[in-house]
Amino acid sequence: MNSSFISMVDKAKRYAEERDRIAITALQVEFRGNNGTHRLSLTGNDWSCECEHFKVHALCAHVMTLQRLFGVHLSEDARYTQERVTA
């Protein structure tokens, strides 16, 4: 192995431990749920999901899962979403 590759691997390990270096600002995901596969996206602080629950409430289990997985790398607004209450 050449020394520049070893150095790059060491740097990547160090960066991975310094989580504040990373901020996710856009993301596209296919999520296999119990009732099918849904496409999710994050643009800035705005989440979107194709599932029916998200269309009505602006929040769903799929988005909440990604918020838990990537939470430390999301802005405060993207990390926590209020459910839209319908009458």
Q: Which two tokens stand for residue 4?
A: 């520049």
Residue 65 included in any domain: yes
Number of domains in the chain: 1
Do 58 and 24 form a contact (C-beta atoms < 8 A)?
A: no
> Using alpha carbons only, what angle is made at residue 51 by residues 27 and 70, rounded to the nearest 5 degrees?
30
Mean pLDDT over the full length of the chain: 92
User: What is the Cα–Cα distance from 33 to 48, expressed in whole angstroms?
Assistant: 15
In a domain, 80, yes or no: yes
In a domain, 13, yes or no: no
- Domain hosting 73: range is 22-87
| Residue 1 located in a structural domain | no
What single DSSP character describes residue 51? Answer: S
Confidence of residue 84 (pLDDT cuts 50, 70, 90): confident
pTM: 0.83
pLDDT at 63: 97
**Cα distance between residue 87 and residue 68, in whole Å:** 28
